[in-house]
Amino acid sequence: MRGVSVSTELRAEVDLPTDGFVAVVKQDCPTCRLVEPVLAALPQVTVFSQDDPAFPEGVADRRDDTDLDASLALDIETVPTLVRFAGGVEQGRVVGWSREQWAELTGVAEIGADLPEYRPGCGSRTQDPDVAEEILVRTRGGSLRSRRLEIAALEDEVEALYDRGFSDGLPVVPPTPARVLRMLDGTSRRPDEVVAVVPPNLVEATVEKVAVNAVLAGCRPEYLPVVLAAVEAACTDEFNAHGLLATTWGAGPAVVVNGPVRAEIGMNWAGNALGQGNRANSTIGRALQLVIRNVGGGRPQEVDRAAMGHPGKVGFCFAEDEEGSPFEPLAQSRGVAPGRSAVTVFAAEGPRGIVDQISRRPESLARSLALGLRGVCHPKLVRGFDATLVVCPEHARVFAEAGWDRARLEAALDEALLLDRAEITRGAGGIDEGVPAGDSDRPLAKFRPGGLMIVHAGGGAGMFSAVIGGWAGGPGGSAPVTREVDPWR
């Protein structure tokens, strides 16, 4: 006995009986045709037909359910389904044909005696992909508030979205109502909840608006909580997305993901972690950029004034390899509790590799990596731009075997990145660029305090780490921002 009540409103809408039997069938189902004579002989039965109002023959109370309202009210997934009601409460149901189960539910001992003992049913029309999409829009589409874009029947949807300015230059996925509704199933947050105020135009982005752009980017619904957290982080004053857009420097937002969500949504933190080929990595960063473009108005050669830019401005996202790392995960080092998922959004140029295939001492490798970091912005400029160092597994193994943790490596890098003022003063080395001459000969730190982040990722073979240059740090610039990811369910 299931004891499931059908709501009064829904029962009234589809006129379900309060007592007796209800069967849902479709003529296209061999098992439904098999039980046709059984239904005709069953007393006090109402039959709803999903595809042929004239089927089954011989049933006194036969009803047209081609609109599938009754099937939806009864939550039918397979036909035939026979349901028994008493006082408006469901008392039990049988899916498919089983003589034993139908006899138990109906109380008719010899029911279908000339039929086989058992036959499986067929999928309900409510489960057909095209029909399910229509039902989704019919039942939930009224909750969407985004402006509808009318596309002519002969227009190509992808071309139309490009022509109307909703693309980043690559083809996008048309955000049909059904796709947006499915995307919204990836979060329990209300569609009308404001996630952030998006620069540069300072427009409110609701969960629905973010979902629309996640569809455009090609995300799956389970990625949406990560996208929402990235949008929240990027739209803070600390990150300063407006400044990052308006500068002529070429950096853009990048996202590194920590915690259980990485594996849950199939992110890549191993080989080619900073490259193409992984759907989650590729589309999460793209969704963030599309929100900034389509909601906030941050378009290239308009507010986005980058002189060069880089390919990662289409979307830059990767996960940290926590399991193989000798370091505390980045999110935990930034205050997130262990076991929680989080994103850290930071200003990023394109990555540049650092080769060191010889160093086996941590002191040597740290100084080697520091030499690669000197090139951020310009080798003779200091404390202006931030950076992120992505340490590959083979390099990380050198530090792990020596017992170095994140703090030890940070301290060694800071020490190696104290630069001799004589070497970086303007004119030194025959280069006019550099720091102004000063009264002191004290070494100068390459990065501001907290201006260098360390992340562990990459393939298991290859002693190639990477430097990701950033943008101006501190007041007036951009600081990395970390936000926890709400659970998917």
Within this chain, do residues 165 and 123 fall inside the same structural domain, yes or no? no
b (16+ CB within 10 A) / e for 382-395: bbbbbbbbbbbbbb
Residue 133 placed within a domain: no
User: What local confidence, expressed as pLDDT, does residue 3 receive?
Assistant: 38
Within this chain, do residues 82 and 199 fall inside the same structural domain, yes or no? no
What is the Cα–Cα distance from 297 to 315, expressed in whole angstroms?
A: 16
Residue 187 placed within a domain: yes
The domain that contains 74 carries what CATH number?
3.40.30.10
Last residue of one domain, picked from the residues 127, 150, 171? 127
Q: What is the pLDDT of residues 369-395, one digit of tens each?
A: 999 999 999 999 999 899 999 999 999
Within this chain, do residues 287 and 398 fall inside the same structural domain, yes or no? yes
Within this chain, do residues 94 and 172 fall inside the same structural domain, yes or no? no
Within this chain, do residues 193 and 63 fall inside the same structural domain, yes or no? no
Contact of 377 with 294, CB cutoff 8 Å? no
Residue 148 placed within a domain: no
Residue 26: domain span: 4-127
Rounded to a whole number of angstroms, the CA Rg of the chain reads 31
**Token code pair at residue 462:** 């290859």
Contact of 288 with 219, CB cutoff 8 Å? no
User: What local confidence, expressed as pLDDT, does residue 138 receive?
Assistant: 86
Residue 50 placed within a domain: yes
Residue 139 placed within a domain: no
What is the Cα–Cα distance from 52 to 64, expressed in whole angstroms?
A: 7
Within this chain, do residues 166 and 76 fall inside the same structural domain, yes or no? no
Within this chain, do residues 191 and 102 fall inside the same structural domain, yes or no? no
pTM more than 0.75: yes
CB atoms within 10 A of CB 151: 15
Within this chain, do residues 73 and 219 fall inside the same structural domain, yes or no? no
Overall domain count for the chain? 2
Within this chain, do residues 87 and 172 fall inside the same structural domain, yes or no? no
Q: How far is CA 90 from the centre of its chain?
A: 39
User: What local confidence, expressed as pLDDT, does residue 12 receive?
Assistant: 56
Contact of 326 with 400, CB cutoff 8 Å? yes
Residue 36 placed within a domain: yes
CB atoms within 10 A of CB 170: 12
Within this chain, do residues 167 and 122 fall inside the same structural domain, yes or no? no
Within this chain, do residues 321 and 231 fall inside the same structural domain, yes or no? yes
User: What local confidence, expressed as pLDDT, does residue 414 receive?
Assistant: 97
Residue ranges in the chain whose pLDDT is less than 70: 1-12, 488-489
Residue 38 placed within a domain: yes
Residue 244 placed within a domain: yes
Within this chain, do residues 164 and 100 fall inside the same structural domain, yes or no? no
User: What local confidence, expressed as pLDDT, does residue 488 receive?
Assistant: 66
